[in-house]
Structure 1
Amino acid sequence: MYPNVVQMARLEAWTRLHCELHNAALEERIDAWRKAKRSISYFDQQSVLPQIKADRPEFNELGSHALQQTLRKLDLAFAAFFRRVKAGQTPGFPGFKSSKRFSGFAHPDPAGWKLMQHGGSGATLRIGSGETAMSIRARGRHRFGGEAKPNDITLTRRNGQWFVSVTLRVPDATCARQRTADMRRGVDFGINDWARFDQGPLIANPRWVRDELPHLAVLQRQRARKRKGSLRHRRLGQRVARLHDRIGNLCRDFVHKETTTMVQQCAVVATEQLTPKTMSRSARGKGEAPGWRVWQKAGLNREILSAGFGMAHRMLAYKAEEAGTRLHLSHTRQLKPSQRCAACWELAPKTLAQRVHVCPHCGHTAPRDQNSAMVVLIDAHNTQDTPGTGVAARPKPLPRQRGKSRSVTRETPATTPCV
């Protein structure tokens, strides 16, 4: 969005009021339990909103549904907290928020706002009603045509800019993506090459973070020399935040384009399950058991996170469903794609430094990542009629089977051997 000075000031004021409501509701829940061992529900707090608006007239222009959504988000935070407690995970109790760190607010239904498209990417968001309504210029468009109906919006403040996220109600037929080919591809995501296929050209890793590290280091050194809390310190902090935001946008755009190309060309996409959170775990260790090669592992963690593997898997999941493509995720620990030979299906242990697969059993030689892509593609063929994801539905990998793959997607492609 592109609000002017007056509109930005009103959006900031509305965000402060939503933050005040969030903190007041959180304090009420804490005090009720601390003093009377009583749990306050969302419905208890929602029923008090009319009285709050009577005592505080400035809340009236925010809209009842937007205020209810702020309370509903707090209730969902408590529900997630209790769920993590029962599961034995790190709970993370909902905390108070400052107005500067409160991201924004939402309208959960079409009431109180209207989005008008002007052709191309131009748009206007009208929010509020009556004399308090604002018309804010915006930019953006979707690919669903006139059948899409706006459902709700979320206004977010990030790095001094305002963004609006619009959820649309779209028919299933409109969501469908058209495929241009029916290939079956095995994909191995990595750092040296972002994606290596079982055959064909690879996709290079753009390394957005590595390219911007010198610029980031200059800004951080300048910021470290400024007095904390000063105007220059704050401005340099904003420049650092904008640079991180730019890197994230470049990475997200790259992953969107590549995953879209994959599902448009493939009837079957096979890859392995990756857990970037576990892969990028710190090697620092503890006082009595210090880590080893901590700085090298920190650099590897940065490269793993900047590649966006988790983002790619999430995008492939919903885009494959829209295109009628079968997405197969092999269980990494059971299948061991990087250690298994695609020719004889035997394990051939290798260190991480060994980038070429040489099988000691059959003599098969191939680039390590390409061999892994071939292994997950064979596993997808072997388990196409097995429920579950990959080899997670059986105790050990099935023996390699040669033959023609039968498609289980929307379209039935021509018979093509899966080798």
Structure 2
Amino acid sequence: MQRRKVTLKLYPNAAQAARLEDWTRLHCELYNAALEERIDAWRKEGKSISSFDQQNVLPQIKADRPEFIALGSHALQQTLRRLDLAFAAFFRRVKAGQTPGFPRFKSSMRFSGFAYPDPAGWKLMQHGGRGATLRLGSGEAAMSIRARGRHRFGDQAKPNDITLTRKGGGWFVSVTLRVPDAACARERTADFRRGVDFGINDWATFDEGPPIANPRWLREELPHLAALQRQRARKKNGSLRFKRLGRRIARLHDRIGNLRRDFVQKETTRMVRQCAVLATEQLAPKTMSRSAKGTVDAPGRRVRQKAGLNREILSAGFGMVHRMLAYKAEEAGTRLHLSHTRQLKPSQRCAACWELVPKTLAQRVHGCPHCGHTAPRDQNSAMVVLIDAFNTQDTSGTGVAARPKPLPRQRGKSKSVTRETPATTPCV
């Protein structure tokens, strides 16, 4: 059995939405009260309170506050576990020498939602197509909420737990499914071997064949987004119109994110269905989109240009591509090869003679002075990672630069010439 998650959109009526808000407020109140109890116990007596100690007090809380009964014991316990996980993460960061980030009190408006950790207190009924009904609670306090969404696993998938989340003025439910291995398998329609290079000009460039264009979701909506932000800047902070425009901006960001996620899901699914071997390089979007602002003593250069490049990198959704390819390739029986970027240097290496040819980001055509091989830069990179996948086909896990014979000694190079930092304004 494997676990998969699917997210459905909820459509509660006015009364149901008000009850969901009340339940979220009560969960937030429990979270803050448990946090305050832990802080006071440590300050006054130097005593640590565990999650189990606080769960044992829940019967008394429900006796004193009957409104907590409708929430369900397991959902209340999960909220206390949520606080316990926050403390565990705090102590882990302290031991690692990172910025600790002590757990904070939360307002009801910023409390995202609540969860049911097991199949108790709720029931999800699928009606065929995209229709579904989520039933929460039992007895007179139960409510049935319309939902929309579906998954590809059919009747073999059994819901295990749910998380209700409030986002952008709407409600969503994330369902964890227990799925048999056979139901997770994806059918492969072809057995191609492809190298792919993800970029900005084209979202994906293959070693052969047409590339996949970059839809540039954020750039298309920037004028609309800027107009809404200018309108909000002219309103009084905290006023009704200020909050209304804030909700419109949040909905626009949600729309951009949904379009990006839908595009990446469809394209990664198409790749693994058509390829028996899929090779690409490791990407670190967090490092690639690092700010060039620098410090007061060492200010950066071309800060505005780098900020625009960072926006395009994050808008392309590279961070979710590898995660999706990893589990989808496993389900389809596709071999996914991730080349080590710093060892292989696919954007600098010639696919024909394997020599390093230093280039800046502004140079979009690869021309090898050693063998005369010429190709678009991204296509050459895709060919390099595919060769690396072939030469390391007996090595499991992440690939490294490998050849049947040792690489020739490289000539000495100036560090400033081989850097990936562009000498001119990058072409995005």
TM-score by length of 1: 0.93
Equivalent AA in structure 2 for residue 178 of structure 1: E
Secondary structure of residue in 1 paired with 2:323: helix
Partner of 2:288: 279
Partner of 1:125: 134
Q: How many Å apart are 1:30 and its aligned residue?
A: 2.0
Tell me how many residue pairs correspond in the alignment.
Answer: 396
The reply on whether 1:180 has 2:189 as its aligned counterpart is yes
Give the distance between the partners of 2:323 and 2:62, measured in 1 at CA.
41
Partner of 1:113: 122
The reply on whether 1:378 has 2:382 as its aligned counterpart is no
Partner of 1:242: 251
Partner of 2:234: 225
Show the 5 A alignment for 1:145-160: 145-160=154-169
The reply on whether 1:170 has 2:179 as its aligned counterpart is yes
Show the 5 A alignment for 1:44-55: 44-55=53-64
> Relative to structure 1, is the Cα distance of residues 170 and 234 closer, same or farther in structure 2, using a 3 angstrom cutoff?
same
Deviations 1:302-345 (Å, cap 9, x if unpaired)?
00000000111111011111111111111111111100111111
Partner of 1:416: none
1:398 aligned to 395, 399, 402, which one? 402
The farther-off stretch of 333-342 and 31-40 is 31-40
Equivalent AA in structure 1 for residue 226 of structure 2: A
Give the distance between the partners of 2:146 and 2:174, measured in 1 at CA.
14
Deviations 1:149-197 (Å, cap 9, x if unpaired)?
1111111101111111111111000010010011111110000000000
Q: How many Å apart are 1:123 and its aligned residue?
A: 1.1
Give the distance between the partners of 1:265 and 1:357, measured in 2 at CA.
28
2:148 aligned to 133, 139, 146, which one? 139
Partner of 1:254: 263
Q: How many Å apart are 1:400 and its aligned residue?
A: 5.3
The reply on whether 1:38 has 2:47 as its aligned counterpart is yes
**Highest RCO, 1 vs 2 (Cα 8 Å, sep ≥ 6):** 2
Secondary structure of residue in 2 paired with 1:164: strand
Equivalent AA in structure 2 for residue 89 of structure 1: Q
The reply on whether 1:5 has 2:20 as its aligned counterpart is no
The reply on whether 1:213 has 2:222 as its aligned counterpart is yes
Give the distance between the partners of 1:275 and 1:173, measured in 2 at CA.
33
Equivalent AA in structure 2 for residue 319 of structure 1: K
Give the distance between the partners of 1:10 and 1:216, measured in 2 at CA.
33
Partner of 1:28: 37
Q: Is the Cα contact below 8 Å between 1:23 and 1:97 reproduced in 2?
A: yes
Partner of 2:108: 99
Gaps of 5+ in 1: 392-396, 402-419
The reply on whether 1:197 has 2:206 as its aligned counterpart is yes
The farther-off stretch of 21-30 and 311-320 is 21-30
Partner of 1:409: none
Show the 5 A alignment for 1:304-315: 304-315=313-324
Partner of 1:356: 365
Q: Is the Cα contact below 8 Å between 1:345 and 1:400 reproduced in 2?
A: no
TM-score by length of 2: 0.91
Give the distance between the partners of 1:278 and 1:37, measured in 2 at CA.
41
Q: How many Å apart are 1:36 and its aligned residue?
A: 2.5
Secondary structure of residue in 2 paired with 1:167: strand
Show the 5 A alignment for 1:45-84: 45-84=54-93
Equivalent AA in structure 2 for residue 398 of structure 1: A
The reply on whether 1:366 has 2:370 as its aligned counterpart is no
Give the distance between the partners of 1:39 and 1:184, measured in 2 at CA.
56
Secondary structure of residue in 1 paired with 2:164: strand
Give the distance between the partners of 2:393 and 2:344, measured in 1 at CA.
15
Partner of 1:267: 276
Partner of 2:5: none
Secondary structure of residue in 2 paired with 1:288: coil
Q: How many Å apart are 1:102 and its aligned residue?
A: 0.6
Q: Is the Cα contact below 8 Å between 2:337 and 2:397 reproduced in 1?
A: no
The farther-off stretch of 147-156 and 282-291 is 282-291
Give the distance between the partners of 1:242 and 1:7, measured in 2 at CA.
21
Equivalent AA in structure 2 for residue 95 of structure 1: R
Secondary structure of residue in 2 paired with 1:136: strand
Q: How many Å apart are 1:91 and its aligned residue?
A: 2.6
Partner of 1:404: none
Give the distance between the partners of 1:88 and 1:319, measured in 2 at CA.
36
Equivalent AA in structure 1 for residue 156 of structure 2: E
Partner of 1:341: 350
The reply on whether 1:388 has 2:392 as its aligned counterpart is no
Deviations 1:120-162 (Å, cap 9, x if unpaired)?
1111111001100001111111111111111111111011111
The farther-off stretch of 40-49 and 86-95 is 86-95
